[in-house]
């Protein structure tokens, strides 16, 4: 009986952890529970149960099977073909490293395999909607005499329809595939450019790693209140429409993405600052990032 009770408590802890991971992943992607329900075909009620730690017990049984074979659960449930043995061995080594050493190793790999001159010729602006990417991106491109490319506009051109229709007709997964394809094409066609990215790109590991490896990235950071006020000032009421918890949702998104945005090469704080002040600092960052220059401005904190 004691063993059964311990097993039940362990299962409950695991389901709670699984629910938190689902909720955190949803927040990073900026998806409401309703959107996730519509795209996954899973009811909002079940998603609520899953995120609160009361999901289907079958995942616990699958975990028990994986543990009985001394396998990580991900090895049984991941999509695609089996990974090469080398990747499995590398992952085992990485799992033993503390977080600070992992960050150091990633920077080393980044410097070892990235073409610094080619990367610094492209300046990519990342951040949530309302951070100032369009306004400051236009200004930076003009000051540095570089083309200004908006990745979302490229996606719309490729799809032949507005972004909201892409989401409505094909879902987020299809949008993310288009985003990656357009980014790849943009990198191939532009040796030098200022690139405005969508706020959710950082939540797609493969696409974000490609951006970090091919571009000098700058995070335009702003407070949740600044984001909301700027979007509303542009006449866009969608974040608030029918959503009493809009600010709470926005805070969760920013918190979930903070660790991702911090991977940028530089950070520009835009809260409570005028456009010209922000642009002047961004120009200094951009000039220092150009090929052959030393990046002296605004290091990432």
For 253-293, the pLDDT digits (tens) are: 888 899 899 999 999 999 999 999 999 999 999 998 887 65
In contact, 198 and 179? CB cutoff 8 Å: yes
d(CA 54, CA 164): 33
Q: Find residue 149's DSSP bridge partners.
A: 195
Predicted model pTM: 0.75
**193 vs 99, which has greater pLDDT?**
193
d(CA 137, CA 122): 12
In contact, 199 and 164? CB cutoff 8 Å: no
**142 vs 23, which has greater pLDDT?**
142
pLDDT of residue 107: 77
pLDDT of residue 248: 85
Q: How confident is the model at residue 85 (pLDDT cuts 50, 70, 90)?
A: confident
d(CA 199, CA 29): 9
d(CA 222, CA 55): 35
Q: How confident is the model at residue 69 (pLDDT cuts 50, 70, 90)?
A: low
User: Do the two domains 2-98 and 104-289 of this chain adopt the same fold?
Assistant: no
Span 236-265, mean pLDDT? 77
Rg (C-alpha) for the chain, rounded Å, is 21
Q: How confident is the model at residue 197 (pLDDT cuts 50, 70, 90)?
A: very high
Crossing angle of helices 2-28 and 44-51, rounded to 10°: 120
pLDDT of residue 294: 45
Least confident of 96-105, 120-129, 198-207, 260-269: 96-105
Residue 115 pLDDT exceeds 90: no
Span 44-53, mean pLDDT? 87
State the CATH class of domain 104-289: alpha beta
Among 218, 207, 201, which Cα is nearest to 133's? 218
Residue 243 pLDDT exceeds 60: no
pLDDT of residue 220: 97
Span 231-245, mean pLDDT? 61
In the CATH scheme, what is the code of domain 2-98? 1.10.260.40
As a whole number, the mean pLDDT across the chain is: 84
**298 vs 189, which has greater pLDDT?**
189
What does the domain layout of the chain look like in residue ranges? 2-98, 104-289
Among 169, 166, 191, which Cα is nearest to 179's? 166
In contact, 221 and 131? CB cutoff 8 Å: yes
Residue 87 pLDDT exceeds 60: yes
Show the 3-state SS of the chain.
Answer: CHHHHHHHHHHHHHHHHHHHHHHHHHHHCCCCHHHHHHHHCCCHHHHHHHHCCCCCCHHHHHHHHHHHCCCCHHHHHCCCCCCCHHHHHHHHHHCCCCHHHHHHHHHHHHHHHCCHHHHHCEEEEECCCCCCHHHHHHHHHHHHCCCEEEHHHHHHHHHCCCHHHHHHHHHHHHHHHHHHHHHHHHHHHCCCEEEECCCCHHHCHHHHHHHHHHCEEEEEECCHHHHHHHHHHCCCCCCCCCCCCHHHHHHHHHHHHHHHHCCCCEEEECCCCCHHHHHHHHHHHHHHHCCCCCCCCCECC
pLDDT of residue 1: 62
Token pair listed for 190: 């532009």
Q: What are phi and psi of 268, to 5 degrees?
A: -120, 115
pLDDT digits (tens, 9 = 90+) for 139-158: 999 999 999 999 999 999 99
């Amino acid at each position: 009986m004691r063993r059964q009770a311990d097993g039940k408590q362990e299962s409950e802890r695991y389901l709670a952890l699984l629910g938190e991971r689902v909720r955190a992943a949803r927040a990073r992607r900026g998806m409401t529970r309703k959107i996730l329900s519509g795209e996954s075909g899973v009811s909002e009620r079940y998603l609520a149960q899953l995120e609160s730690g009361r999901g289907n017990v079958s995942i616990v049984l699958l975990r028990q099977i994986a543990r009985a074979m001394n396998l990580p659960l991900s090895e049984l449930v991941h999509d695609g073909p089996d990974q090469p043995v080398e990747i499995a061995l590398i992952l085992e080594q990485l799992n033993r490293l503390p977080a600070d050493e992992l960050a150091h190793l990633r920077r080393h790999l980044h410097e070892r395999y990235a073409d610094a001159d080619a990367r610094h010729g492209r300046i990519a602006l990342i951040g949530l909607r309302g951070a100032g990417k369009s306004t400051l991106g236009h200004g930076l491109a003009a000051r540095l005499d570089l083309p200004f490319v908006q990745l979302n506009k490229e996606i719309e051109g490729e799809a032949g329809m507005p972004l909201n229709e892409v989401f409505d007709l094909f879902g987020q997964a299809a949008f993310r595939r288009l985003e990656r394809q357009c980014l790849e094409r943009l990198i191939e066609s532009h040796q030098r450019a200022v690139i405005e990215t969508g706020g959710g790109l950082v939540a797609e590991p493969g696409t974000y790693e490609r951006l970090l490896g091919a571009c000098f990235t700058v995070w335009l950071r702003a407070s949740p209140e600044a984001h909301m006020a700027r979007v509303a000032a542009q006449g866009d009421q969608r974040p608030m429409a029918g959503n009493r918890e809009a600010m709470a949702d926005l805070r969760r998104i920013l918190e979930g993405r903070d660790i991702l945005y911090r991977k940028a090469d530089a950070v520009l704080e835009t809260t409570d600052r005028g456009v010209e002040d922000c642009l002047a600092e961004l120009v200094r960052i951009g000039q220092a990032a150009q090929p052959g220059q030393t990046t002296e401005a605004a290091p990432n904190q």
